A and B are shown apart, each in its own frame.
Chain A
Amino acid sequence: MRNKITSVIAALGTAAIMSASANAGTLDDVKKRGALRCVVSTGVAGFAYPDKSGVWKGFDIDFCRATAAAVLGDAKKIKAVTSTGKTRFTKLNSGEGDVLWRNTTITFSRDVGVKLRFHGVNYYDGQGFMVNKKLGVKSAKDLGGASVCIQTGTTTELNLADYFHEHGMKYEAVTIETNDEARQNYMSGRCDVYTTDASGLAATRSTFPDPQNHIILPEIISKEPLGPATRHGDDQWSDIITWVYYATVTAEELGVTSANVDKMKSSKNPEILRMLGVEGNQGEELGLNKDWAYQIIKQVGNYGEIFERNIGKKTPVGLARGMNALWTKGGLQYSPPFR
């Protein structure tokens, strides 16, 4: 009996060790498998959604494709591992996904507690308010006494309570479960105000028959830095994800686009040459091919292109660059140099 117990413990121990050490080889796993598995959401307007042939598109998806272009040379070699808010981290940590590109806010508890590694912020979001223009409200400070559609059990709810308390205002909470419910309630007038992340507000507004009659108030009352995540314990993979993101930002900083990237191979700017792999061996140091960043830009585009294609002004979601503009244009997107 003792022998049985020891052997069971040994087996579990081995499994635990193996799972810990197996993490270190995500790059090799992905290369062997020939496809990159990204943990994504089940559908968030502008960020991740399937088109009619089942091909996934969106802001987060494009970054996933960029990663695939860098690692496998082909942006199409992705698999979308759909997850809900409740299952996204376990899917990543248990190995069902390689990387999480899923409008996920970076927080202390997630970084430290859930043991995720974050790699920069590919979208600075924050909680905002949307009201009908006819209410004549121009600022969130005038919202005292309003009825607010709010999803329970979220940080959104906590932020709302804090903000109103801080400004000495009262509100009537209309609790909702899903975005659809909120939309119904808001449009029928059951609630005056809808509050959620500003990107979500924009996406919802785009579905109204009369989007021009609704405004998103200027106040952003919380910090929701959204960024990709990987498991603890795989430094090489973490570096790759980090620099895939930075590559897109640097490309935009340096004016490299998918249209001119071929021409840029003969640029006079040494940083461009290093990034595109014409000079130096940054690719090899990462464990990738020389042209890893070139493939990203060529197949998917730079940060600005990705933004404009999926959530920019011309899209139904219609977001301004705002905080997500380059640091040179007054925003927060800033990449360390490729040196």
Chain B
Amino acid sequence: MAEATETYKVGQHPDLPPPRSEVGVIGWVKYNLLSTPFNVIMTLLAIWFLWSIIPPIFEWAVLDSVWTAESRKACWAKMEVPEGAACWAFIKDRIGLFIYGFYPADLRWRVNLSFVLMVLAIVSVLYENMPGRKFGLWYAVAFPFITGWLLVGGLGLTHVDTDQFGGIMLTFIIGITGISFSLPIGILLALGRRSKLPVIRVLCVLIIEFIRGVPLIALLFIASTMLNYFLPPGTAFDLLLRVLIMVTVFSSAYIAEVIRGGLQGIPNGQYEAADSLGLTYTKAHLLIILPQALKISIPGIVNTFIGLYKDTTLVLIIGMLDPLGVGRASLADAVWAGLAREVYIFVAVFFFICCFSMSRYSLWLEKRLSTEN
């Protein structure tokens, strides 16, 4: 097998390439799929499994699907077998509702503009090498206020009730607000929990444990029902604002624990080195400790964020219509009723795209920050 059949003088042996079948596609197939009889059987089973599943799904979802129709009946009429393929015409018909919720149609440009601004803010925060990043970061701080004004109105723009927010727009608002505000709050809670001052430490522990002990649904219910009982009716503390606060508070507690784990993973020597150089507590944490802690915690943080993002669908329970809610409400329209599969697949694909992007970004970020060899 070995090709190193020539002999070399001692101390002069050159680096040779490995034998052919160990590398490349052939090597991989041989090693991973066909190396033992058991593996061969599993490979065959897997191929058979994929063959029986993927083509029918592909046919149902893509090849035979109908993209334009006026109603479910018309949609099914276009298929060989009624209900035998996906009727994406329904989604297309309702795409406005799915994306904007009940936002007035003539004012939707404000939502579009907010979306563009959001993308700009995200890019400024997440990509270090963007030109003009300093300006980008200041912009990202101002961004919530700018978009808040754009979406809700006031000061020159017509007012739009937050009750009318819905669909994908609502998911983005709740998700991004929750994520961006819970990170700094979570960091503060984590640091507070490690504080030497007992008052701060006990307070932070209580906050974290209370929030983690209550399901998000319960918090949303509290936000939607109980709070209003304590305030005189008419002082409508905007429901969306209450939800945003609850979601942020909820996520902060989980982030705090993730970061605390990261902080614990930093060797004591780092704290000592920072202290012995004369750095104050704040500077030591900002320059030395937190960058390292956050870096180790990236998988945990992104994991929490992905979970939070998907948890935004819970607002359905309190009557707000996120994409899932819009889908189910649209299913009540008799013109289209009965196309539940299409709705759920659409919503699932939407969430998958968002969450997968987040996890890909996290991998990219980890690689970039990795300063080991």
Direct A–B contact in complex, judged by CB atoms less than 8 Å apart: yes
Judge if A183 is at the interface, Cβ distance under 8 Å: yes
A229 to chain B, nearest CB (A): 16
Chain A stretch 290-339: residues in CB contact (< 8 A) with chain B: 315-317
Cα–Cα distance between A45 and B228 once the two chains are bound (Å): 30
Judge if B88 is at the interface, Cβ distance under 8 Å: no
Question: CB < 8 Å: which of A22, A79, A90, A315 contacts B334?
Answer: A315
B205 to chain A, nearest CB (A): 26
User: Please, which residue of chain B has its CB at the minimum distance from the CB of A210?
Assistant: B82
Question: Chain A contacts of B330 at CB under 8 A?
Answer: 43, 49-50
Chain A 34-76: CB-based contact to B (< 8 A → 1; otherwise 0): 0000000011111111111110011000000000000000000
Identify the stretch in A91-99, A119-127, A151-159, A265-273 within 8 Å (CB) of chain B at 4 or more residues. Answer: A91-99
Chain A contact residues (Cβ within 8 angstroms of B): what range? 35 or more
Question: Chain B contacts of A208 at CB under 8 A?
Answer: 338
Tell whether A50 pairs with B338 under 8 Å between CB atoms, given A22-B232, A95-B234: no
- Are A183 and B229 in contact, CB atoms less than 8 angstroms apart? no
Question: Chain A contacts of B233 at CB under 8 A?
Answer: 19, 22-23, 94-95
Identify the stretch in B48-56, B91-99, B257-265, B284-292 within 8 Å (CB) of chain A at 4 or more residues. Answer: B91-99
Question: Chain A contacts of B241 at CB under 8 A?
Answer: none
A59 to chain B, nearest CB (A): 11
Question: Chain A contacts of B332 at CB under 8 A?
Answer: 43-49, 58, 203
Cα–Cα distance between A52 and B326 once the two chains are bound (Å): 11
Question: Chain A contacts of B321 at CB under 8 A?
Answer: 42, 82
Cα–Cα distance between A4 and B266 once the two chains are bound (Å): 46
- Are A87 and B96 in contact, CB atoms less than 8 angstroms apart? no
Chain B stretch 89-111: residues in CB contact (< 8 A) with chain A: 93-94, 96-97, 100-103, 105
Chain A stretch 93-141: residues in CB contact (< 8 A) with chain B: 94-96
Tell whether A183 pairs with B334 under 8 Å between CB atoms, given A15-B230, A29-B234, A79-B161: no
Question: Chain A contacts of B221 at CB under 8 A?
Answer: 87
Judge if B40 is at the interface, Cβ distance under 8 Å: no
Chain B stretch 54-80: residues in CB contact (< 8 A) with chain A: 72, 76
Question: Chain A contacts of B232 at CB under 8 A?
Answer: 15, 18-19, 22
B305 to chain A, nearest CB (A): 26
Judge if B331 is at the interface, Cβ distance under 8 Å: yes
Chain B stretch 329-359: residues in CB contact (< 8 A) with chain A: 329-335, 337-338, 340
Judge if A166 is at the interface, Cβ distance under 8 Å: no
Tell whether A81 pairs with B102 under 8 Å between CB atoms, given A45-B337, A50-B330, A180-B331: no
- Are A317 and B334 in contact, CB atoms less than 8 angstroms apart? yes
- Are B224 and A87 in contact, CB atoms less than 8 angstroms apart? yes
Tell whether A183 pairs with B329 under 8 Å between CB atoms, given A22-B234, A81-B319, A84-B317: no
Question: Chain A contacts of B103 at CB under 8 A?
Answer: 54
User: Please, which residue of chain A has its CB at the minimum distance from the CB of B92?
Assistant: A52
Question: Chain A contacts of B118 at CB under 8 A?
Answer: none
- Are A86 and B320 in contact, CB atoms less than 8 angstroms apart? no
Question: Chain B contacts of A43 at CB under 8 A?
Answer: 328-332
Judge if A83 is at the interface, Cβ distance under 8 Å: yes
B100 to chain A, nearest CB (A): 8
Judge if B32 is at the interface, Cβ distance under 8 Å: no
Tell whether A206 pairs with B337 under 8 Å between CB atoms, given A84-B317, A95-B228: yes
Residue among A52, A91, A317 facing the most chain B CB atoms (10 A cut-off): A52
Question: Chain B contacts of A18 at CB under 8 A?
Answer: 232
- Are B101 and A54 in contact, CB atoms less than 8 angstroms apart? yes
Nearest 5 pairs of A and B residues by beta carbon = A95-B233, A207-B338, A43-B332, A49-B332, A43-B329
A interface list, Cβ under 8 A from B: 12, 15, 18-19, 22-23, 29, 42-54, 57-58, 79, 81-84, 86-87, 90-91, 94-96, 180, 183-184, 203, 206-209, 315-317
B interface list, Cβ under 8 A from A: 72, 76, 82-83, 93-94, 96-97, 100-103, 105, 161, 163, 221, 224-225, 228-234, 236, 239, 316-321, 325-326, 328-335, 337-338, 340
Given contact pairs A54-B100, A95-B228, enumerate 9 new A-B contacts (beta carbons under 8 Å).
Answer: A48-B332, A50-B330, A52-B93, A79-B161, A84-B316, A86-B317, A87-B221, A96-B236, A183-B338
